Chains A and B, each alone.
Chain A
């Protein structure tokens, strides 16, 4: 029994209640395993020799190796290059998105103007567009501009994907900043831009960071546009993963190694801000 449970009023430790608590705990364990076991399995696969991967006999008692982690950086997979691309694209998109989104979110939060609701809804609704309907025009557009297979193109695309989310989340955080401290600053003599830069942003910074990490995650994992719009130079990690599908079959141990590389940074980032992450995900959706 968990000793730190909060007592339920009227709880009697009868057999029925004890059984029920046991079932609940078992279910929670089931939940935990359903999340951790797949991750665990993929992780150990990355450290297995191919012979241990392609058969179940030595699945658990295997001889660990680091070769896979080394191989993925080599020719022809060059995951190192793809990591750099992913970092560049994600950083670029977030570095552009957050300032733009903060300005827009501030406007939506603190100002009243005609059509405000309509414009806000339109911006938010753009996250409902399927990638499929814009990928083709983008392809043609970037082809014309000679930007196919470049990081720039991917940064621009991801920027447009991420902006609605970022504006929505940051607006929520700016809404939570008490208006009085802004009014104090105005009365103290600060022009609007200083109020925003020196008062509002520092106060809302946890939320802005959360939005930044959320956006970074979206871009890091973005698949469809990277698939269509890049071919060689601008390939990002998710596409790198499918590169392990060869004519001879799927190289699972390398895919797993790639999987570790692509997932670990995201795990770390999201755990760093998990408290705000949870708060903002729920607040933004529930409003």
Chain B
């Protein structure tokens, strides 16, 4: 049973504050993903959990016990680094076995556990190779094997897939998911790739500028974003977010065009809608008309992009739709899937 609790964590490097007043309870056996752009503080937060950094203020506790002063050796966590951190002068077997060697595990058991860990990631035939002889994907699996060879309280993974090519990434992602489910260990995962977050996590913590903007299940994050940052960060392509103004009858107007959607109240709003919730239609039923900027064939669908209000507006269309740059684009927004945000604060408005 390992719960991790972070209370009022601050981390500054000199004058630069990287993590601000972070509060978080991580439940046993959950797969928590820290998601955010570069520099948002997600890696720092994880390193604080690992014991590689110490918080400037705040408390971190494992199972209720305060562990601020504990070094990484004492915390019984396992970590997979972005660049894997393999020991260049040791074989694969020695790399995987190093944590066991440190704990003076007897030889027979040591070898058995190394073999078992290697088998779990299909590395059993490469045990005698040196890291420099391995491909990127193989190195990543060595790092994984090293982290599972002992039974740690927590798995920490720092962007482990970012150095792999796209195809390998999909395979490795599946492997990680399967592995962590099988081993039933609390896992904390850092990434800037929202697809990884959505597919792997039981909960996602979206971070920006040192603060957690929203924490919830992937579904909650996607369908119920708290603010414009989360809304635009999740989803690929990004959600269409535009500034609108109500007209006399309370309809939202985008650049003098009536969207056909009623705003929650009079005034200025920020309106968001995903590309799959806006449809291409004919000029009769359209609420917005603009011009195609680019048109992309994606195989299973097509994507039409327009420039609206100096921003890109993306519309997902059927895979047999065909358009050209410059063609007129008539679209209709689905009123059921519109998100409203406060114009000033960016916070999501919800019907009470």
- A-side interface residues toward B, CB under 8 Å? 178, 180-181, 183-191, 194, 199, 202-203, 205
Given contacts A183-B52, A199-B87, A188 and B99 within 8 Å (CB-CB):
yes
Do the beta carbons of B72 and A187 come within 8 Å of each other? yes
User: Which residues of chain B have C-beta atoms less than 8 A from A183's C-beta?
Assistant: 52, 72, 79, 81, 85
Q: Name the interface residues of B64-86: CB closer than 8 Å to any CB of A.
A: 71-73, 77-79, 81-86
Main secondary structure of the interface of A (DSSP, over half): helix
**Which residue from A180, A194, A202, A205 sits with its C-beta under 8 Å from B85?**
A180
User: Which residues of chain B have C-beta atoms less than 8 A from A205's C-beta?
Assistant: 89
Chain B interface residue count, CB cutoff 8 Å, equals 25
Interchain CA distance A199-B51 in the complex, whole Å: 19
Do the beta carbons of A185 and B98 come within 8 Å of each other? yes
Do the beta carbons of B87 and A185 come within 8 Å of each other? yes
- B-side interface residues toward A, CB under 8 Å? 50-52, 71-73, 77-79, 81-89, 98-99, 102-103, 143, 146, 156
Which residue in chain B gives the minimum CB-CB distance to A182? B85
Given contacts A187-B52, A189-B99, A181 and B78 within 8 Å (CB-CB):
no
Which residue in chain A gives the minimum CB-CB distance to B89? A202
B66 to chain A, nearest CB (A): 20
Do the beta carbons of B88 and A180 come within 8 Å of each other? no
Do the beta carbons of A189 and B85 come within 8 Å of each other? no
Question: Among B71, B85, B102, which residue has the most Cβ atoms of chain A within 10 A?
Answer: B85
Interchain CA distance A184-B89 in the complex, whole Å: 14
Question: Among A183, A184, A202, A203, which residue has the most Cβ atoms of chain B within 10 A?
Answer: A184
Total cross-chain contacts (CB, 8 A): 60
Interchain CA distance A168-B73 in the complex, whole Å: 30
Do the beta carbons of B73 and A186 come within 8 Å of each other? yes
B52 to chain A, nearest CB (A): 6
Interchain CA distance A30-B87 in the complex, whole Å: 47
Do the beta carbons of B84 and A180 come within 8 Å of each other? yes
9 extra interface residue pairs, beta carbon distance < 8 Å, beyond A180-B85, A183-B85, A188-B78: A184-B79, A184-B81, A184-B146, A186-B51, A186-B73, A188-B98, A189-B102, A190-B73, A203-B89
User: Which residues of chain A have C-beta atoms less than 8 A from B103's C-beta?
Assistant: 189
B88 to chain A, nearest CB (A): 6
B315 to chain A, nearest CB (A): 43
User: Which residues of chain A have C-beta atoms less than 8 A from B85's C-beta?
Assistant: 178, 180-181, 183-184
Given contacts A202-B89, A203-B88, A203-B89, A187 and B78 within 8 Å (CB-CB):
yes
Do the beta carbons of A191 and B73 come within 8 Å of each other? yes
Interchain CA distance A183-B81 in the complex, whole Å: 9
User: Which residues of chain A have C-beta atoms less than 8 A from B87's C-beta?
Assistant: 181, 184-185, 199, 203
Can you report 25 A-B residue pairs in the complex whose CB atoms are below 8 A from each other? A180-B82, A181-B85, A183-B52, A183-B81, A183-B85, A184-B79, A184-B81, A184-B87, A184-B143, A185-B87, A185-B98, A186-B51, A186-B72, A187-B50, A187-B52, A187-B77, A187-B79, A188-B78, A188-B98, A189-B99, A189-B102, A190-B73, A191-B73, A194-B102, A199-B87
